[in-house]
Structure 1
């Protein structure tokens, strides 16, 4: 995985559990008008539900650098992995809504998980305020060229699957993860069958692909780039409706696999607790949108194969989330994935 996070140790420091406890201290009630006027005057945490070094952590750190310039306070990335991101989501849903705790959520945590988990300790819609949609990203269909030198295209993969139904397997970062569901969509669309093998995160799943333990892997675009560019894996296709500029020679699944209309993308979004004061939500939203629309940030997004959003404001963000919840619910049902 290519590490692209910039150095900014003087401003962006590891987040301790004690600091989080201070951040979340107090009743989950709106900040007072005086607090709102003086906000921000303390460290702000961006919590994410995946390990340090994951794409969400890299994004949170990069965004924190820009927001530090805007507000003059430190932003810290606090990674709380576990339960498909639900631990981090629950923490932020219950946090004091004073503008010092935010969540870098994903389509997985806030559109897929409601259909995947039989019970959540929070409501993905009503227990959060939406700050900004941060970008969309595809998965990339990867194979190990040493294990499968004969599979050079997506059509080769489909042909191999039809020749020996149910014998090829693929990795995912967990049951119900976007890569698992992309594999389900792919199997349905191509009328093929595969064995799904879930792993605990991107790192173990990529290791399984590189070691030859699995045949292919629908991995998120950002952490795939280093392995693709080094030649350790072969990228057969991207799951977005259009090619990504950082990989111009990699076709879409729709064109490479002759599956018109195929698309399977996810998104990142910044959330706050539900009762976040309107003034803070507005200021934070404006600052985030300003940051991610700068030319330097847009270039960084493109380098990570993340597609910038034309309208990422709170209203558009909510519409996207609600529409995706409906769409992913059907895909989860078709996949048979379920977590108690």
Structure 2
């Protein structure tokens, strides 16, 4: 048996080093995902703690004064706080739901299927984030085809809510203040349900860089800095993309441009719903857009 040459031994070493480097990066990416999930959970949990504190304060005040006027005033305040807390709880639960869904298969989610109306579910999710929209002055326009309006899907209500909450939260989080988010739902010839979501951003997003994150994860440099949270709008979609592909066998495509892709011409014949606040025209900035299309095969919804 021939003795290995120096070059062969060096090749073995370099190959082993490359594999170790790949494993280290995979571990770093797993840690980065956990940090992002924890970061996204932190905000609603802080809000929930604040709302509970306010509720306790109101109840303590009510204990001291149980007059009719006091009861009526506290009831309105407590109802408002509860509504805000429910939204924060929904945000937190959906973040946890993302983790749970990643462990499920297409077949397992199909077993959880129940009848639901796609537009009703999406409308409920948009309404759930009313406080977030009002706080940042964001308008939301939902347009959809007549066929989608009456379509009765069969899917896991939890999986659908988690997926679309993630998509809509991503838009709300990164949309420029006092702008309009547009959504478009329709069926295409390939027998898929397409849901397009578009929001204005302060600077154009590099879709190639975003696709690289989707496909190969973050670099060592990216996972070692807090810039991972705010470096690139749309990173929140990496979880949604994983769920769409695994649970629904669909796909997510992203792009960024200096013009909107959801136009008046494309929405002709569609039904339209406007969710306030719709900013006045003079206040809508002319900014680049971030556009995402979610495509789900109809067979995953029937």
Fold match, TM over 0.5? no
Based on CA coordinates, which of the two structures has the bigger radius of gyration? 2
**Which is richer in helix?**
2
Greater relative contact order (Cα < 8 A, sep 6+): 1
Q: Report the TM-score range of the alignment, normalised by the length of the smaller protein.
A: under 0.3
TM-score for both structures, normalised by structure 1: 0.23
